[in-house]
Amino acid sequence: MNNFLRKYFYGDIPEDKGGDELKQSPQVLSTGEDSDWPLWEIFIRSKQGLDHKHMGSLHAADAQMAIENARDVYTRRMEGISIWVVESKYIHASNPDDAENFYEPAEDKVYRYPTFYDLPDEVKHM
Amino acid sequence: MPLQETEKIFQGKIEAEIKIEPKDWMPDKYRQTLIRQISQHAHSEIVGMLPEGNWITRAPSLKRKAILLAKVQDEAGHGLYLYSATETLGVKREQTINDLHSGKAKYSSIFNYPTLTWADIGAIGWLVDGAAILNQVMLTRTSYGPYARAMVRICKEESFHQRQGFEILLVLSGGTKEQKEMCQDAINRWWWPSLMMFGPHDSESTHSDQSMKWKIKRKSNDELRQNFVDMIAEQAKVLGMTLPDPEMKWNKQRRHYDFGEINWEEFWNVVKGNGPCNKERLDARRKAWDDGKWVREAAEAYAEKKRTKQKAA
């Protein structure tokens, strides 16, 4: 497989921060081959009516194999009735370093909560 | 932001029990420690399949075969949860596995002991998995999110492992004279290596302090070991078996069991690679990897063929 782009996998670390020592250690395989199958993120619906939930990741050659491996790895005790697999490289994520600014617009809008409104006791359930 | 400042924010999150997630900033040392610890843990699950795999075909009944097969399959799964957690720290899976095969990475020394009789499978479930569970329950609260989540899943599945082991011994302990002897013999051989699983004394442990500060670990080696001894000493009575330690006795003042000193020379010897099965285990792993090469290649070729077909269609 030819990887022409530097892909940010789930949990991957941007070049400019962290893991300095790690990056210095050569990540080239002793065999010189890069035969890792692609990484897939696994989402499982545990029962009808619930959302698919992220369970973890695994390697597989293709989507079919990813689904079958996910069954063996994540549903050995009937934890799932439906499996989604997504190749990790297709997941785009927000940047935790921007969290402060990114979520800031929600911070000063207390009127979005029901408890913001004082109502007389006579109005029971609302 | 200066490094000192970011480190302070990081430590603040740890103190506030906020989990660290893969893309968050973390000190290099924290990352290194986790990579080492989680991958060692993963390798232990994978190598741990070998001593038990030895008995799958020889388990005494179809029921026992099915149970042991399920347990070994769980361990493969646990290895995968942990490899996947290691990968979130930025190391490639194949690199991690290469480090095991090259001998650079360690795994729990307990798996370098042989499984000589069927009772060993019981003793492994009861003692080895029992010791592992104490460690793993602690780790469900570890500060790194993916590791903690993997541990929650593992702990849910692991409790059957210990119970089935205890039950194997319970059946043997109610059996013939030979079966009883076999049971006691397995306990005698697995007891001390199980105690060693918790690692060196706190005073000798190189990684412990920092790991506690980062809340990667939440209990010290000696603390966990004491918990284990207290638990097992009581359970041994139910089996009607003894633990091979003349110094073991209840200490009223401490409200814990006292126990004898571990043979640390043996411990370090096995860690260094001179245990009874170190070579055999690594050879088996390497052989499995090499023999599986054509399967990996075939699967990839097949996936490629399907992709080409899809494109053409």
Phi-psi sector, B90: left (phi>0), alpha (psi -120 to 50), beta: left
φ, ψ (nearest 5 deg) of residue B251: -110, 110
pLDDT of residue A124: 86
Contacts of B94 in chain A (CB under 8 A): 29, 34-36
Distance from CA of B259 to the nearest CA of A (A): 39
pLDDT of residue A35: 64
Mean residue pLDDT across chain B: 95
pLDDT of residue A18: 43
Q: Please, are residues B78 and B157 in contact by the beta-carbon 8 Å criterion?
A: yes
Q: Number of A to B CB contacts under 8 A, please give it.
A: 103
* Residue range B111-127, pLDDT digits in tens: 999 999 999 999 999 99
Query: For B101-112, what is the mean pLDDT?
Result: 94
pTM of the model: 0.87
Nearest to A96 among B21, B157, B303 (CB): B21
pLDDT of residue A34: 57
Long-range contacts made by residues A70-79, C-beta under 8 angstroms, separation at least 24? A70/A40, A70/A42, A70/A44, A72/B73, A72/B77, A73/A42, A73/B77, A73/B80, A73/B81, A74/A42, A74/A44, A74/B77, A75/A44, A76/B70, A76/B73, A76/B74, A76/B77, A76/B157, A77/B157, A79/A44, A79/A46
Residues in chain A: 126
pLDDT tier, A6 (very low <50, low <70, confident <90, very high otherwise) = very low
Nearest to B90 among A13, A36, A65 (CB): A13
d(Cα B143, Cα B179) in Å, to the nearest integer?
45
Contact B90 A12 (CB under 8 A): yes
Written as one letter, the residue type at B252 is K
Query: For B211-221, what is the mean pLDDT?
Result: 93
- pLDDT of A19 over the 80 cut: no
Burial class (CB in 10 A: 0-12, 13-18, 19+), B310: exposed
Determine the residue of chain A that is closest to B32 in CA distance: A22
Judged by a CB distance cut-off of 8 A, whether residue B97 touches chain A is no
User: Which of A81-95, B123-137, B171-185, B198-212 has the lowest average pLDDT?
Assistant: B198-212
More confident of the two residues B53 and A7: B53
Mutate to test the interface with A, among B80, B296, B305 (most CBs of A within 10 A): B80
User: Which of B3-7, B125-129, B166-170, B256-260 has the lowest average pLDDT?
Assistant: B3-7
Reference B142, options B198, B207, B216; nearest CA is B216
Judged by a CB distance cut-off of 8 A, whether residue B90 touches chain A is yes
Q: Which two tokens stand for residue B209?
A: 């302090």
The interface predicted TM-score of the complex, written ipTM, equals: 0.88
* Residue range A27-48, pLDDT digits in tens: 433 344 556 899 999 999 999 9
Distance from CA of A102 to the nearest CA of B (A): 15
pLDDT tier, B205 (very low <50, low <70, confident <90, very high otherwise) = confident
- pLDDT of A15 over the 80 cut: no
Query: For B34-54, what is the mean pLDDT?
Result: 96
Q: Which two tokens stand for residue B114?
A: 């042989």
Q: Please, are residues B111 and B75 in contact by the beta-carbon 8 Å criterion?
A: no
Judged by a CB distance cut-off of 8 A, whether residue B73 touches chain A is yes
Query: For B19-43, what is the mean pLDDT?
Result: 95
Distance from CA of A14 to the nearest CA of B (A): 8
Q: Which two tokens stand for residue B283?
A: 């050879």
pLDDT of residue A107: 87
Q: Best-predicted range by mean pLDDT among A12-21, B151-160, B201-210, B248-257?
A: B248-257
Contacts of A2 in chain B (CB under 8 A): none
- pLDDT of B75 over the 70 cut: yes
pLDDT of residue A24: 38
What does DSSP assign to residue B112? Answer: G
Nearest to B84 among A36, A56, A96 (CB): A56
Return the HEC string of chain A: CCCCCCCCCCCCCCCCCCCHHHHHCCCCCCCCCCCCCCEEEEEEECCCCCCEEEEEEEECCCHHHHHHHHHHHHCCCCCCCEEEEEEHHHCCCCCHHHHHHHCHHHCCCHHHCHHHCCCCCCCCCC
